Amino acid sequence: MVKSAVKVIVRTRPTANFAQGYLDVKDGIRAININLPKKNETQNVVNNQRESYSFKFDNVLHNSSQETVFEECGREVISSFIDGYNGTIMAYGQTGAGKTFTMTGTTANYKQRGIIPRCIEHIFQEISNKPEKAFNVSVTYLEIYNENLFDLLNNDPTGSDDYQIMEDAKGVTFVRGIQKVATTSEEEALSLMFEGEANRAICEHQMNKASTRSHCVFTIHLESRSRVESNGQIVYSKLNLVDLAGSERVGKTHSSGQVLKEATYINKSLSFLEQVVIALSTPSREHVPYRQSKLTMFLKDSLGGNCKTLLVANIWGEATQLDETVSTLKFASRMMRVSNEATINIHMNPEALIKKYEKQIVELKQELAM
Ligand code: ADP
Ligand code: MG
């Protein structure tokens, strides 16, 4: 068992209007300081007071390339994923801060591809370097929107009550009913990612959804067994790559009617996520309210469970966005106090188990006959 804290990395989106003098952030320097002018309660009162915040993270990537972000965020998680540990990489932040750019990237420019395509590439590379093992790779693509689950690899991705978030005997969560598609190459896995995105866009249009309000999870599932030893062991792991809904607060968007309902939902599911993180970051950890939302049920093993988890907090360093930046960094620094206990997920192949027990029975019978 490996006990490890959730790793938190802050990534800034490049901007020409950087909040100079208010936001102090440098590439590779782990601390971020923010100095906000204190809000004037009364008009016409000169107020020189400042509100100051100081945060420290595992790393800060300021104006970094997609490659650097992958090296910092993906590499380590992938190599333990191949060894049989579950992994989760999730992007958190306000709409426009660069979550989708970080996770998926832009398709037009190969250099600008994000964490998901790079993970796919490296996973297939790494497994081809291990001829002593047989691997099966499959993927699922889930969208959570207004507490409904959508299968983005299904051609008709309308929400279904048939999909259910469950957990196995070892506390590993999975979605019952969702299509798990087997892939044998980087190209196949990538085309599934594109297919899911196209379905998401079509469904968004048909159902009048706003993509900024949904959570998307591309999961890579891995099964491996030894080709050398016939010990009957199968090692399972999954890698969740999560593009969370925009974390902005409702008040700011002046929403009403249907949109307000959606906005409140998002706020609800992200505030439930926050409640889980708060519960996990307090030493007593008495009751962790995972069951309050689909998102927290799904992320149960990623937060405080059997998983190696990394959060990318995306921020948009403009003066007009400082309030959202503070709220993103507050969430991110709470996340630093969450710790997980990851184990390699070894199961026995049923056939091998039967053979093992048959052999034991024969041995016992022989002993009895003696
Ligand atoms: P979010 O998913 O958080 O709403 P996006 O990823 O869609 O934000 O980013 C908003 C816009 O900013 C997009 O046009 C995206 O290409 C651009 N962008 C975000 N981060 C970066 C970055 N690090 N480098 C270049 N462009 C970026
Ligand atoms: Mg997005």
Residue-wise pLDDT tens digits, 133-151: 999 999 999 999 888 899 9
Summarised one tens digit per residue, pLDDT across range 205-264 is 777 777 788 999 999 999 999 999 878 889 999 999 999 999 987 554 445 555 555 555
Which ligand is located closest to the Cα atom of residue 216?
2
Q: Per the annotation, where are the binding residues for ATP?
A: 93-100
- CB of 171 closer than 6 angstroms to any ligand 1 atom: no
Ligand 1: residue of 101, 116, 316 to mutate (most ligand atoms within 8 A of CB) is 101
Report whether residue 305 contacts ligand 1, using a CB cutoff of 6 Å.
no
Q: Is 292 in the pocket of ligand 1 (CB under 6 A)?
A: no
Tens-place pLDDT, residues 52-107:
999 999 999 998 999 999 999 999 999 999 999 999 999 999 999 999 999 999 98
The whole-model pTM stands at 0.90
3-state secondary structure the chain: CEEEECEEEEEEECCCCECCCCEECCCCCCEEEEEEECCCCCCCCCCCCEEEEEEECCEEECCCCHHHHHHHHCHHHHHHHHHCCCEEEEEECCCCCCHHHHHCECCCCHHHECHHHHHHHHHHHHHHCCCCEEEEEEEEEEEEECCEEEECCCCCCCCCCCCEEEECCCCCEEEECCCCEEECCHHHHHHHHHHHHHHHHHHHHHCCCCHHHCEEEEEEEEEEEECCCCCCEEEEEEEEEEECCCCCCHHHHCCCHHHHHHHHHHHHHHHHHHHHHHHHHCCCCCCCCHHHCHHHHHCCCCCCCCCEEEEEEEEECEHHHHHHHHHHHHHHHHHCCCEEEECCEEEECHHHHHHHHHHHHHHHHHHHHC
